[in-house]
Structure 1
Amino acid sequence: MGATGFGYKIAKKFGLKINPQRAGLVPFVFNSEDQQKFGQLRGISIFCRVSNHQASFDENILFTHKGLSGPAILQISSYWNSGESIEIDLSPNIKITDFLNNKKDQGTKTTLKNTLIELLPKNFVATFFDSDILEKRVCDLAIDEISLIAKKIHQWLVYPQTTEGYRTAEVTLGGVSCDELSSKILETNKVKGLYFIGEVVDVTGWLGGYNFQWAWASGQVV
């Protein structure tokens, strides 16, 4: 019902509240600046922490020819609104200041580039940082330089231009408001004998089969 719009038409006909719909669990499209910089990284995957003001997910991101995908991106997309940023921690389990300071204290003469590729993909490192800083030896890095490198890795702010929309989305956000339905049998409060289930209702689960389970479980209730 949610896929065809039929369910929304029925709900509207009976005067039920319908919350705005949009694509959820969907990849992001880079803005033009990021597309120019990162478009060449298609296929690279990195374990990250992706966050915004509502949620945070520790899973992989995947660079595509258009932008970012992968489990962490799909998850956070359901909490993202147009114009907002997402924050990506590219090293959620290793504190970069400690990592680089330890290398510096050991007198490591390896370049920053060759040191960072212990943690991150080589092509990504070469694209993400300016070549000047990458060619510096770790033992020669100043404290403020290490701090800036750490901030860049732990707090990468991305401003998506948009999402890929329903073409690649796994679910629809929004739909018939739960306030209109009985929480026990999913019958509408206004019209006896009228029920709404599955994706047409404003219920969205995380990635991993939860939306299928909601569809099956809500259908079983009715």
Structure 2
Amino acid sequence: GEYSCESLVIATGGLSMPKLGATPFGYKVAEQFGLKVLPTRAALVPFTLHDKDKDILAELSGIAVDVYASCNDTTFKEAMLFTHRGLSGPAMLQISSYWEAGDSLSINTLPNDDATALIQTARNETPDALLATSLNKVFPKRMVQSFIEYHNWRNVPVKQLTHSECDAIADTLENWQVKPNGTEGYRTAEVTIGGVDTNELSSKTMMAKNVEGLYFIGEVVDVTGWLGGFNFQWAWSSGWAAGQVV
């Protein structure tokens, strides 16, 4: 039907977590009144892996390690969690907001150490120890076993590793290139990137510049924050701004 009112505030959120009732209603209203709506996608969301990667790494489900996660000139130092579907944890959720389909992630699994120095120390101090034994000192054992298989490293006494093998291992530990298959999508995404273009709205009142009395607040707008309460704060702050004038 048709409805009329002096002020209308759209606070319908994005597309994340559809089981909670998420719908594109807010975007449809914006488009109905001629406002630009930017393409949407899931963000702050875990990654899924291609089968060839998942078959080996799924065995690490439940293991978490601190990493530097980088993509498109952005880096986060947080924990990464291996899951039976792929990669999650704060590091992956954060970087997912900057990842586009087809991009690779660069993951430094030794954010607080130098991989080359670590391997060289092992060669100097415990040359007869297996590669796995040396890496077990800094990584969970299951992770070491899977990485040796995944990257085809020779699990031999470290003194037998060639310089090129040592360099390759160090480079992988500090610059592991992972190309996700995708993300888990809106089902588990904490937020939605995209939505009503901020250029269409007053930054003081959240009212549409060209539609008197029509306001958009919260996640329906193209504003996405990091983990840590920023998205809640945006919802509250934009709601407060609109509330002062409606």
Q: Report if TM-score (shorter chain) is over 0.5.
A: yes
* Residues 27-42 of structure 1: pairs in structure 2 closer than 5 A: 27-42=46-61
CA contact (8 A) 1:111 1:134 kept: no
Residue 54 of structure 1 and its aligned partner are, at CA, apart by 3.3
User: Tell me, what secondary structure is at the counterpart of 1:129?
Assistant: helix
Residue 22 of structure 1 and its aligned partner are, at CA, apart by 1.0
Identity %: 48
Q: CA offsets per residue over residues 62-114 of structure 1, 9 Å max, x none? A: 11111110000000111111111111111111111111112222353221101
CA distance in structure 2 between the aligned counterparts of 1:11 and 1:136, rounded to whole angstroms: 62
Output the TM-score relative to the length of structure 2.
Answer: 0.86
Output the TM-score relative to the length of structure 1.
Answer: 0.95
State which of 78, 85, 88 in structure 1 corresponds to 2:107. 88
Match of 1:66 in 2: 85
Residue 49 of structure 1 and its aligned partner are, at CA, apart by 0.6
The yes-or-no answer on 1:150 pairing with 2:175 is no
- Of stretches 149-158 and 103-112 in structure 1, the one that deviates more from structure 2 is 103-112
CA contact (8 A) 2:46 2:183 kept: yes
Match of 1:120 in 2: 139
Residue 159 of structure 1 and its aligned partner are, at CA, apart by 0.9
The yes-or-no answer on 1:212 pairing with 2:232 is yes
Computed over aligned residues only, the root mean square deviation of the Cα atoms, in angstroms, reads 1.5
Gaps of 5+ in 2: 1-11, 14-21
| Matched pairs, number | 222
Residue 15 of structure 1 and its aligned partner are, at CA, apart by 0.6
Match of 2:35 in 1: 16
Residue 40 of structure 1 and its aligned partner are, at CA, apart by 1.3
Residue 32 of structure 1 and its aligned partner are, at CA, apart by 1.2
Match of 1:57 in 2: 76
Match of 2:179 in 1: 159
State which of 184, 195, 198 in structure 1 corresponds to 2:204. 184
- Of stretches 65-74 and 109-118 in structure 1, the one that deviates more from structure 2 is 109-118
